[in-house]
Chain A
Amino acid sequence: MGTPVLLIIVLAGIAALLATGLAGAIRGRAPDGRVLVYGACLALCALLALAGIAGLAAPPSGLGLPLFLPWIGARFRFDPLAGFFLLVINLGGAAASLYALGYGRHTAEPERVLPFYPVFLAAMNMVLIAADAFGFLFAWELMSVASWALVLAHHHEERTRRAGVLYLLMATLSGLALLLGFGLLAGPAGDYSFAAMRAAHPSGWLAALALLLVLFGAGAKAGLVPLHVWLPEAHPAAPSHVSALMSGVMTKVAVYAFVRVAFGLLGAPPWWSAVVVLALGGATAVLGVLYALMESDLKRLLAYSTVENIGIVFLGLGLAMAFRADGDATGAALALTAALLHVFNHALFKSLLFMGAGAVQTATGTRDLNRLGGLIHRMRVTSFVFLVGCAAISGLPPLNGFVSEWLTFQAILLHPDLPQWGFKVMLPADGALLALAAALAAACFVKAFGIAFLGRPRSEAAAAAHEVDGFSRAAMAGLAALCVLGGIFPGVVIDALAPVAHLLLGTRVPAQLAVPWVSIIPVTAARSSYNGLLIFLFVAAASGIAVAAIHRFASHAIRRAPAWDCGFPNANPITQYTADSFAQPIRRVFAASLFGAHETVILPPPGDIAPARIDKTMRDPIWDWGYAKPAGWVERTSISLNRLQFLTIRRYLGFVFAALVVLLLALALWQ
């Protein structure tokens, strides 16, 4: 254990964030309150991110403080896993704070946002360094409550209030599941510190049950299917910088919780738990992106896309668990590195995309894709960085999304000879699901960018849009630059992740920065390698040659004219494709059976000048069967139990007597 200097710095940073929250509560309504709060958050997040980077290289350190309950205290621990997630979370937090310096000018009631935003950041950081279950759960619940308060910032809308209720319900369920999981891990001795849980080495069914409970709890927060239903309601309801944090960063805290328990605390869970994680990860990836394709609200589309990417992360984590269960620590390190790299990349490009959506909403007043269009002419910088974000999330080389996807495929290719049949079936199935999710994600983001930014404006608001302020543009441009750099120099991030894999699994992926030409070689050079820098340079050189050749040999003439449109141009922008029409072929292929999607077209008889009508209907099977039905049962059961309120005195006395008899019987049988 090293000296806790870095840990003290992190704790000081968290305390400063909490103090900023207090300052936000006091000075919230003042005109400079926004600058004070967001500026302080930017500086503190930058400091904490640097501490995270330092923590990746430093040995683990621990500290005990006499906080919370007096006979338990609070333990904190700062190791490379916490350091990596600190980097991810505070990088996202810093970008969101920089964005909010400009975006926050438009907040109607700043006193509803400013106090809770720093507390949200502080709670997320506290979750990462907590080393006992009480501190962890306290910070987890604080994170939930702070984000719930932020979701309800626009409380006047009915939809936001319903989203808040659903979010609170799912957050409570997740906290309860985590509490039960930690309780099982603590065992009959009741020692809640992580060090004791690590040393306990729980056996077969106990470890599996604890893992499933933690998977439920962390999955509800991260957005695993079928626990994802709150994400598309709550993430769009919050202000855009908070949405960026919730989607890009808070889901990663949930991933941290799962990684800490599955790899850090549980020594060797049974091998079939990896099958569960693999199945959930693959299903989440495909279902998330299918939901996203059906959406025409830009922020709901991005929220569902977060669900898809969380599925990809859990798929990688499941692969790591599978390889570890079969004794291959190097393969597990590769899969874990792929999953954590995707965590980092997703935090970058999802924050960028949500900020872009916020910019669009500020500029046009709407997030409905069917009301947007032609924004590439009006919002040049935003459209360019949004394009970079869309390309990154679609996994296109030479950007960073491709690298994590490529590494996950390399992990799938690693072991075709695993003995268990569950793995023999799940690994190729997951390869197919991952490939399908990647292709559908590209289609989804072509739709998002193409309908919102390209084409002609579909409403007057879109035609009158203006570019957003400098802070927002700076934050988005910074994240876009990181996406490009992460794709060209992926070895830097992979090598930074190596201490995390070493801590959790004992081995690491081969060192990448030593490879010539800055390639990445995850296993051996004979197996495969990828060089982002050279691919980028080749593409640049090829386009340079093309431009030079065209300039030399081709005509330079350009004439502007009306669109050709096969000779029948229609000036009305309503003849363009909308978001729903773009997704119609995919909806017909994929969603006809899954979501019951069908369209009814009502054409008036010939000669009638009434307009035709198209109605599309879809049902969400997970909501219908997983939430609406149980909610119906709960309601019917509680109504029938309500009759207990209106019994006669004789029936009440009969109840008391029966209860007494049952308890005496139980006591007698127990002895």
Chain B
Amino acid sequence: MALVLALAPLLTGWARKVKARLQRRRGASVIQPYRDLRRLLGKEVVLAENASWLFRVAPYMIFSLTWVAASLVPTFATGLMFSWTGDLIAIIALLGAARFLLTLAGMDIGTAFGGIGSSREAMIAALAEPAMLMIIIALALLAGSSQLSTIARFMDSPAVGLRVSLALALVAFLIVALAENARIPVDNPATHLELTMVHEAMVLEYSGRHLAMIELTAALKLLLMISAIGCIFLPLGLAVGGAGPGGYAIGFAAYAAKLVVAGALLGTFESAIAKMRVFRVPNLLGGALMLGLLATLLLFVSKGL
């Protein structure tokens, strides 16, 4: 639990550093997000006059829901102590609950910007969540369980083999992860222009410690998605629960390597591609949904695919 919280800003800082380097800038240090959080925590909150209790409570609820979801994802070892309390569907539903509250918070003050962010986020979620659920169904059918630890262990075992469904699920998962984390090409995390905002528009009115919690939540969600991709599709070096300190050390080293590679790939991808027009995003996410459906259909039609 504490590990994901500590590592999340570092991953965000690393991805930003890679983007800066590709733009021929030196870029801020990789620990700059920690400094940003500390700065925000010390600042005064400027609250709109008509903000309700929901606006003030939402950052805490969003943060705790995402933190619980992130704690249920295996990072460097399977067999988490409480992995049986929530399977992959529950993890995605917890993220959905966080998004529900964030969308409501965006509408609370009653500005046009909040409405823009919330309505666009609702459209993106209406396609990203079903795509994610189809991917989960495909993975659960293969592994015989929807528990993430069991899926990770199955993917690590020799029983999995090369499958078309897995390839389709991987592509779809990458697209959905980009959409869920508000990354280019779906949304620009570094912008403050209305035309390009989705997530930033919803949190426009937040400041001080509330904004610090929301930024930490965004970093946590990115770490969650990358950990999930790592433990499902790249379970190399994943320690089995109960392995000795050597096994854990290898697991941790492998996990750190996965994060470094993922951050670099994310930064490179975001620099290589432009942000899509808002109404082209449903085409992309619809494609992910179709890939997920196809993966599931292939598994229903023939177990070997």
**Residues of chain A having any CB pair with chain B under 8 Å:** 373-374, 376-377, 387, 391, 394-397, 402, 406, 409-410, 412-413, 416-417, 424-425, 427-429, 431-432, 435-436, 438-440, 442-443, 446-447, 449-451, 454-456, 517, 519, 525-531, 534-535, 538-540, 542-543, 546-547, 550, 553-555, 557-566, 569-570, 573, 575-577, 581-586, 588-590
Contacting residues, chain B, for A412 (C-beta < 8 A): 137
Give min CB distance, B179 to chain A, whole Å.
12
Q: Quick one: which of B167-208 are within 8 Å of A by CB?
A: 192, 194, 204-205, 207-208
Task: Flag if B110 contacts A586 (CB, 8 Å).
Answer: no
User: Cβ of B68 and Cβ of A539 under 8 Å apart?
Assistant: yes
The answer for the CA separation of A376 and B56 in the assembled complex, in Å, is 13
Instruction: Please give me the residue from chain A that is nearest to B290 by CB atom.
Output: A432
Bound: A412/B118 CA distance, A: 31
Report A647 CB to chain B, min CB distance, Å. Answer: 60
CB distance from A109 to the nearest CB of B (A): 37
Which residues of B are interface residues toward A (Cβ below 8 A)? 41-50, 52-54, 60-61, 63-65, 67-68, 71, 82, 84-87, 89-90, 93-94, 96-97, 100, 103-104, 107-116, 118-120, 122-123, 125-130, 133-134, 137, 140-141, 144-147, 150, 192, 194, 204-205, 207-209, 212-213, 278-279, 282, 289, 292-293, 296-297, 299-301, 303
| Chain A hits for B279, CB < 8 A | 585, 588-589
- On whether the beta carbons of B107 and A455 are closer than 8 Å, the reply is yes
Which of A374, A395, A454 has the most chain B CB within a 10 Å cutoff?
A: A454
- Which partner residue on chain B sits nearest A585 by CB separation? B123
A-B contact pairs, 8 of them (CB 8 A): A391-B97, A394-B100, A427-B300, A450-B104, A539-B64, A539-B94, A555-B45, A563-B111
A76 to B273, CA, bound (A): 70
In the complex, the answer to whether A561 meets B47 with C-beta atoms within 8 Å is yes
Chain A residues lying within 8 Å of B137, measured Cβ to Cβ, are 409, 412-413, 428, 431
Would you call A584 and B119 a contact (CB within 8 A)?
A: yes
Please determine whether B122 and A443 come into contact, CB atoms closer than 8 angstroms. Answer: yes
Cα separation A431 to B138 with both chains bound (whole Å): 10
Closest 7 CB pairs of A and B: A577-B115, A455-B110, A542-B64, A557-B44, A585-B123, A435-B133, A450-B107
Q: Provide the bound-state CA to CA distance between A208 and B85, in Å.
A: 42
Inter-chain pairs besides A539-B61, A542-B64, 7 sampled, C-beta below 8 Å: A391-B97, A396-B97, A406-B89, A561-B47, A565-B111, A585-B278, A590-B126
C-alpha gap A425/B204 in the complex (Å):
45
* A451–B110 alpha-carbon span in the complex (Å): 9
- Min CB distance B90 to A, Å, is 6
B300 touching A428, Cβ below 8 Å: yes
User: A538 to B100, Cβ gap below 8 A?
Assistant: no
| A519 touching B41, Cβ below 8 Å | no
Point out the residues of chain B lying under 8 angstroms from A395, CB to CB: 93, 96
In the assembled complex, the CB of A525 is this many whole angstroms from the nearest CB of chain B, namely 7
The answer to whether B104 touches A454 (Cβ under 8 A) is yes
Contact A576 B112 (CB under 8 A): yes
Q: Are B85's CB and A586's CB within 8 A?
A: no
- Report chain B residues within 8 Å CB of A435: 129-130, 133-134
Residues of A within 8 A of B213 (CB): 546, 550
Q: A538-B85, A577-B119 are in contact. Are A446 and B104 (CB under 8 A)?
A: yes
Contact A585 B82 (CB under 8 A): no
Q: Roughly how many angstroms separate A107 CA and B85 CA in the complex, as a whole number? A: 48
Q: Is there contact, CB below 8 Å, between A559 and B46?
A: yes
A406 and B279 CA atoms in complex are apart in Å by 31
User: Are A546 and B64 in contact (CB-based, < 8 A)?
Assistant: yes
The CA-CA distance from A117 to B97 in the complex, in Å, is 38
Partner of A564, one of B48, B96, B110, B126: B48
Q: Which residues of B contact A391 (CB under 8 A)?
A: 97, 100
Whether the Cβ atoms of A377 and B209 lie closer than 8 Å is no
* Residues of chain A with a CB closer than 8 A to B61's CB: 539, 543
Give the residue name and chain of the A residue nearest to B71 (CB): A538
Asked if A450 and B144 make an inter-chain contact with CB atoms under 8 angstroms apart, the answer reads no
CB distance from B303 to the nearest CB of A (A): 7
Residue of B49, B84, B300 near A525 (CB, 8 A) is B84
Residues of A within 8 A of B87 (CB): 528-530
